[in-house]
Structure formats: C-alpha cells, structure tokens
Structure 1
Amino acid sequence: MAAAFPTQNSDSLECNKQEEGNNKTYQKDLDLIISALPKEKGWISENNHLYQGFWYPTAPLRGIITAQQHLKARPTDVFLVTIPKSGTTWFKALLFSIMNRTHYDYHTHPLLTTNPHECVPFLEVMYANENPNSNPNLPLLSTHIPYSALPKSILTSGCRVVYVFREPKDTFISLWHFTSKLRRKELPPMPLGEALELFCKGASPYGPFWDHVLGYWKASLERPDRVLFLKYEDMKSEPYAHAKRLAEFSGHPFSLEEEKEGVIGKILELCSFESLRSLEVNKTGSQCSSTMVFVPNSILFRQGKVGDWKNYLTAEMIEQIDQITKEKFKDLV
C-alpha cells in the first residue's frame, strides 16, 4: 500500500490563501508608510529613512515596524543590541557560546562551521522575511534597534538586554569600510569626508549614533537588572571579567568548577577575533545582514582593533567627532 501523506482540505487551503492575501496587503501598507518618510542619502542603497527619530535603510525598516507590532518577547529571552560595527559579530559569538556551553563540546561547536550571525539572527531580518504574525522562538536574538523604538514586549516582558558601546571614531571608520564594500554598484563611491558629514548629523544606519548609545545608557541606569551596558574597549582589555558579567546577567553564571576547569578561557579563545577569522566558514560563504544585503563572511573580520581610526582621520575630522561626543556624552561616565 502506498504511504499516506497528510493533505490540506479546502478549508485550510482557503485559510492559507486568505493569510497570503492579508500579508500582501500588509506589505503594501508598509510600502506606503515608508515611502512617505523623510529621506537621506543611503550608505549602501539609495536612501535611508527617518522613522521615530532614527535613520534606517528601507529593508530592515520593514522588519522593525513589523516587530514593533507583532513580537512577543518572553522573560527568559536575551537581546544583544549594538549600533552597526560596534562588535556585533564578536558579541554574538560570545553570548551564544556562554548560553549554550552545556550543549556542545569544543570539537563539535556550531561556531566552528557556522557564522555567528547565523547562530544569533537579527530580529529585524527575521520579521522582514517572515509573515508578520510569526514569532521567533529563540532565547537569544540580536538587533540594532534604538531603545526608544524597541517592541513594547521587550520592555514589558522582563527579558534581558545586553548593549555594546564602541568608541565613535572606531565605529565610524569600521562602518565606512563595511558599507563601502557593500554599496550598490550603480551608486558612486561614498568618500570618507561625505560619510563623516552624514555620520555627524546623525544620518548613518540606525543613527544618530550618540542618541542610540544614550538611550541604552539611561535605560541601564533605570533598569540595571534588565539592561547591561558594556563597552567594547573594556571587553578587549579585560575579557575574562566581562565574560563573567555576560554570563551572570544572561542567567547562565559560571560555576566555581567551570572556572577551575578553564571554561571561560576556552570560550574566549573560541570566540577570539583571530580564531573566528581563521575558520573556513568565515573565509567563504555569505549571509543576510541587518541591512538585508548578502554579506561575504570574510568582510566581517577586518581589524577588530581599538584605535584604528588614527590611520584614517585628519585632525579636523577628529575634532569634529570629539566635539559632538563631548557635548552629547557629558553625563556619561
């Protein structure tokens, strides 16, 4: 007898058609909303759009609006938040390894064969690609969304948010290199000076940079049990201590036995810039980035250094960024 496979009845087929039609209508409504927003020159594509005080490329903005309306965060969820090019890939690897350390050994670990961005997806990418009524069932997700624009369920569910802040000059230089490699071929290259002007007036992807940082810094003061504010440079200088902070905050503290067995050191080695860059998976292949562009894995590992901006910025450029930073961050210690 031939195997019997489940079939859809006419009611379920009709329901699927209706759902598909509703989704198309929803996507058209999104297009209308986005088309009416103020525009500025884009770094990768033609335009960025101003939405709720921040600038976004078109494709991730679709996912952000959808996530704001439909995400149902859970108390056990952890969200890693960064502004682009402030250590996202590294911290995805660290948090994934810390939270899943009892599930894998170091010879078969997913990070050996899978890019960190596939292990920890971007929230806005998931919602840009999927039906708006779907809900990701993952304990660890990443996003670049500013604090004021986070879906309400993240703020009310009791979940945890880890925010990583990187020195603005290094963030800018890394962003310029990254977007220059991904910029559409039909668009002219964006000179460093032009990119700096956009960055300083706030019109960079997910910018203004300084407002993005301040939103999470203030939230970390108001809700220290729910929002952890970490500096990229501190993680570089004291990785052991801050790996422990990440573990404790995410609800997965290291035991004394694990510390004695060197578990923290093994995770730091696995997730180090040099180790990740040397893996074959990160030399080849590509994946969908937060800007909905397919990114070669190799360009995710350019430098990872502190102070690389010194090789690119003139004294005048440095003064321009530092003056804004001094004014914006006068209360940030």
Structure 2
Amino acid sequence: MGVTRAEEEQLTEECKQLLSSLPKERGWRTSHLYQYQGFWCQPAEIQAIVSFQNHFQAYDNDIILATMPKSGTTWLKALAFAVVNRDHFPVDSDKHPLLTSNPHDLVPFLEYKLYANNQIPDLSKLSADDQDRPRLFGTHIPFPSLANSVKKSNSCRVVYLCRNPFDTFISSWHFIGSMSPFTLEEAFEMCCRGVIGFGPFWDHMLGYWKESLARPENVLFLTYEDLKEDAVFHLKRLAKFLGRPFSFEEETSGVVEKIAKLCSFENLKGLEVNKKGKSIKNFENDKLFRKGEVGDWVNYLSSLMVEKMSTIMEEKLGDSGLKFKVVIS
C-alpha cells in the first residue's frame, strides 16, 4: 500500500482498506499521498478526516479557521484568538496566552490534534466554562470535505486565509526541508499537477472562494497579501465577521493596532515559546517562522517555472474572480 511501518501502526484496518482503493502518488514526506474526495492527503490525515466527518457536531458560534498549508495558518490563529478573547485577555496584558503558548496550542487542528490517531474527542468541554465564548478550530481540510454540520450550519463561521501559490509552494518546500525526497524542480512539477498536501491548490482555494461569494455571512475569504498590506483594516473586517466588532473606544485607544503588533510575524517569531517545542507533531515550533514575506519566490523560481504556474492559475482560476497581487519583495 505504500504506507511506512510507523504510519501503519496508527491506521485502523478500515482506513487501510480505504487506502488500498485510492489513487496514490509518491509523497512529499510520507511514502505516498492518496487522493481522497478529490484531494491529495497523507494516510493519517485521511483517517482523521473520516473521523471528523463522522463525529464532529458544529455549535452555532463555532469558528473554523481554514488554510492551505503554509498560507499564514499560524498568523490567522493568533489574530482570531486575540480578537475573540480580548474581553477575557486584554491585548496589552503581560499574561496574554499568546505570549506563553503557540497559536497552534490555543487553536487546535481538527485533523492533526483533535481527531488524530483515531481519536473521538469530547469537544463539549471546550465551551463548558463560558457558553458565550466560541470554540476555535483550525484545519487544512478542503471545504467539500468539511463535516456536514459545518457546511449546513447557518451560524457557524468559517474564515479562509489564502496566499499566492508561488510563495505557498516555496514556504512548503522549506518547511518540509530535508524530509522531502524531491528536488525543488521535481516538487514544483508535482505542485503544478496538483499533487501537494491538500491540493490541487486551485480546487482548495476555489472551494472556499465560491462559498464566500454564495454565503458571505458564513464564510470570510482573506488573502495573506492584503493582511500584510493593511493588517488593521482587515482585522476590523475579521472582528466584525466573527461577531466581535471593535467599539469606537477600542479603535481610538489603539486596540486594533495592539492586536496587529502582538500577532505580527516579528513578535511571534521572537517569543521564547515559539523557539522551542513541537506544537505540531514532527515539526519544531521555530520552523513555523521562516521569513513571512510576500514575493520571496523570486529567489527560487526560474522564469519558466513562473510562466508555467501563471498559466495554470489563469486556466484554473481565471473566470472565478479570484486574483492575487503579485508583489516582489
């Protein structure tokens, strides 16, 4: 089946049978990626997704933070946590949880944490202390593969952060690093074929993009580049969408700017808690913070590679209305 012994030990017989029926390709950091429900995933991810789909029950005030890998996930989690919890944790407090906990510990991944290793967690405990505080979850799962209780909810909110595919690919390449059996050029070709974690990237983006157009009250679509250009403006959009708009007093006292600073790449990278430990299995926390720049891809991609991906983006995204600002750092 192409699953390593370590991977196989974590898989149920049901999952192994499922994998045997799925298309597979050589993986970026596991022996194989498998195409499940139209997207390429690792074996353990597929098992977790199935468990999530079968057992997750959305609450009306749940917040799901969705991204492709390496698209600003850590940043989005920090921003949303700070916005939603600012009444309980004042942003200028020296005891703010973001100063002592990695954002991935504060906003757990559905597939890597809560439903990993065939777990069926009791998530009702997450809101037991305060029914007014929404539960925050993170995920890379494509919109079509979210649990039905999320997709059919008229109250659950989904925030999707999207990053231009050039930078996303380069960030992913550096993140996998020595674990990848591929050269940069080989990995790029796979990405262009859609064979990348939770890819094809165009289908992942379009799933959330189209839903944000159809149900803007339930799905907010943000881009990494817009956030970098004007974090304060988009923080206000985020807070309003999450049902926690900033008051006039908060705006005039600089609360929005303080949240932007607290959650900035530079600040998070400099915190001791983000320099050690593993909040995501198999990855050191310091690997979550490389450059955080827009346009770093120009240092790695040849003109032919840029032309090829640009053509793919035009073909796949062209008539959707989804566009990216190509900014060169």
TM-score range, shorter chain: 0.7 to 0.9
| 3-state DSSP of counterpart to 1:177 | helix
Structure 1 unaligned blocks of 5 or more: 1-23
Q: Does 1:210 align with 2:197?
A: no
The answer to whether the 8 Å contact 2:212/2:221 transfers is: yes
CA contact under 8 A between 1:44 and 1:179: conserved in structure 2? yes
Structure 2: gaps spanning 5 or more residues: 1-8, 127-134, 323-329
Structure exhibiting the larger radius of gyration computed from Cα positions: 1
State the secondary structure of the residue aligned to 2:115.
Answer: helix
The CA distance in 1 between the partners of 2:264 and 2:121, in whole Å, is: 37
1:107 is aligned, of 82, 94, 97, to 94
Q: In the TM superposition, what whole-angstrom CA distance separates every residue of 1:52-85 from its partner, at most 9, and x where no partner exists?
A: 1000011111111110111001110000000000
Q: How far 1:130 moved relative to its partner?
A: 5.4
- Take 2:278 and 2:56, find their aligned partners in 1: how far apart are those partners? 27
CA-atom RMSD, angstroms?
A: 1.6
Alignment partner of 1:161 out of 158, 161, 164? 158
Residue 142 (structure 2) aligns with:
146
Conserved? CA contact 1:161–1:226, under 8 Å: yes
Q: Are positions 1:282 and 2:267 aligned together? A: no
Question: Structure 1 stretch 132-141 or stretch 67-76: which is displaced more?
Answer: 132-141
TM-score, length basis structure 2: 0.88
* Alignment size in residue pairs: 300
Aligned residue among 307, 315, 328 for 1:319: 307
Shift of 1:49: 0.7
Report 1:66-81 matches (<5 A): 66-81=51-66
Distance 2:273 2:37 in 1: 37
2:322 counterpart of 1:330: no
1:197 alignment partner in structure 2? 189
The residue type equivalent to 2:275 in the other structure is K
- C-alpha separation between the residues in 1 aligned to 2:124 and 2:219? 21
> CA offset at residue 137 of structure 1?
4.8
Instruction: Call closer, same or farther: CA 1:323–1:267 in 2, change over 3 Å.
Output: same
Q: What stretches of structure 1 move > 2 A for 4+ residues in a row?
A: 129-138
- Cα deviations by residue, 1:223-268 (Å, 9 ceiling, x for unpaired): 0100111111001001111000110111111111111111111111
Over the matched positions of the two proteins, sequence identity in percent amounts to 50
Aligned with 1:268 (options 244, 249, 260): 260
Equivalences for 1:1-333 in 2 at 5 Å?
27-105=12-90, 106-125=93-112, 126-129=114-117, 131-132=119-120, 134-135=122-123, 137-138=125-126, 139-158=135-154, 159-181=156-178, 183=179, 189-288=181-280, 293-331=281-319, 332-333=321-322
Contact 1:66–1:127 under 8 Å retained in 2: yes
Shift of 1:136: 5.8
Using the size of structure 1 for normalisation, the TM-score is: 0.87
Secondary structure at 1:132 match in 2: coil
* Cα offset, 1:45, TM superposition: 1.1
Change (3 A) 1:129 1:101: farther
Q: 8 Å contact 2:64–2:158 — kept in the other structure?
A: yes
Separation of aligned partners in 1, 2:285 and 2:158: 26
The answer to whether the 8 Å contact 1:169/1:309 transfers is yes
